[in-house]
Amino acid sequence: MSEFNGVAELTEVMRRLRDPEGGCPWDLKQNFESLLPYTIEETYEVVDAIQSGDMAAIKDELGDLLFQVVFYAQLAKEQGDFMFDDIAAHTANKLISRHPHVFGSDAERNLSDAEIKAQWEQIKQQERTEKNARGSVFDDIPSQLPSILKAAKLQKRAASVGFDWPEAEPVYDKIEEEIQEVKEATDQEHIEEEIGDLLFAVVNLARHKQVNPEAALQRANEKFKSRFQNIEQRLSERDKHPTDCNLDELEALWQQAKKA
């Protein structure tokens, strides 16, 4: 297949895999729904590769994710819905429409960063309106988003129509209010509800501080993991395990790990 370019070669491989006369039995059994777990898995593997900084791994995992797109495109082509080129062309046109500061007039290309951001939000809001003039601002937010990302999306959409505090200061007050409500909650269901409200408020603070809450929490996870593994390593060198220590001993080791 050396005469093909990369994308053409990949789409041809996919066509062969789905060939009813000689394709792969596993690939022939798949449909849009059955591929979803693999798509989610491949997405997280791309994230891991990028965070590792290993360019060879990034290329490999991006290829696996691209294969998912090619697979969906092949399924759609077989159903007569659309082809891979249709996906690419639609995306190109959408990006051109959303970037008048790049592809538009001279005046549009001289916008400030703040004006570009406002224009971007205005264009996306117009797209949503055209899709469903009577719908909710939340209509096209994926239901299966991780909860933290979904909270950020919901808040951003509400802010796009003016439902938002103009600065972060009231958000601090809201977080303190939610903490107090957690303390005052009695039964388990009420506690869960109030902790949910507290998490939602913290996500709102992240948005006001222009921080991606998912990335921030992931970073905190990795930091916690690294520090605790440092404790495990220190204890291993003494032929000990964390279960051999009381909380004060573990806390002392934790402080050492933080300094390290």
pLDDT in tens, 7-48: 999 999 999 999 999 999 999 999 999 999 899 999 989 989
Q: What's the pLDDT band for 105 if we cut at 50, 70, 90?
A: confident
- pLDDT (average), residues 209-233: 93
With 90 as the cut, is the pLDDT of residue 124 above it? no
How large is the average pLDDT for residues 63-92?
96
Domain range summary for the chain, segments of one domain joined by +: 6-98, 101-133, 145-210, 215-258
CA distance 251 to 245: 10
Residues 6+ apart with CB under 8 A from 10: 66, 67, 70
Q: Is 201 exposed, middle or buried (0-12, 13-18, 19+ CB in 10 A)?
A: buried
Model pLDDT, residue 187:
93
pLDDT, average across residues 81-105: 91
Name the least confident of 26-30, 114-118, 229-233: 114-118
Q: Are both 6-98 and 145-210 of the same fold? A: yes
Give dist(CA 203, CA 212) in Å, integer: 9
Q: Which residue has the tokens 């903490």?
A: 179
- Give the architecture-level CATH label for domain 145-210: Orthogonal Bundle (1.10)
Q: What percent of the chain has pLDDT over 90?
A: 70
DSSP secondary structure letter of residue 243 = G
Q: Is the pLDDT of residue 2 over 50?
A: no
**pLDDT score, position 257:** 92
Backbone angles phi, psi at 197, to 5 degrees: -65, -40
What proportion of the chain, given as a percentage, has pLDDT over 70?
95
* pLDDT tops 80 at residue 106: no
pLDDT for 134: 62
In DSSP notation, 53-77 reads: T-HHHHHHHHHHHHHHHHHHHHHHH
Supply the CATH classification number for the domain 6-98. Answer: 1.10.287.1080
Tell me the C-alpha distance between 157 and 124, whole Å: 10
Q: What average pLDDT does the segment 219-242 reach?
A: 93
- Give residue for tokens 């370019």: 5
Alpha helix ranges (H) inside the chain:
6-17, 25-29, 32-52, 55-79, 84-98, 100-103, 113-131, 147-160, 169-184, 188-208, 213-236, 247-259
Measured from the Cβ of residue 193, the count of other Cβ atoms closer than 10 Å reads 14
Q: Considering only CA atoms, which of 37, 44, 36, 35 is closest in space to residue 17?
A: 35
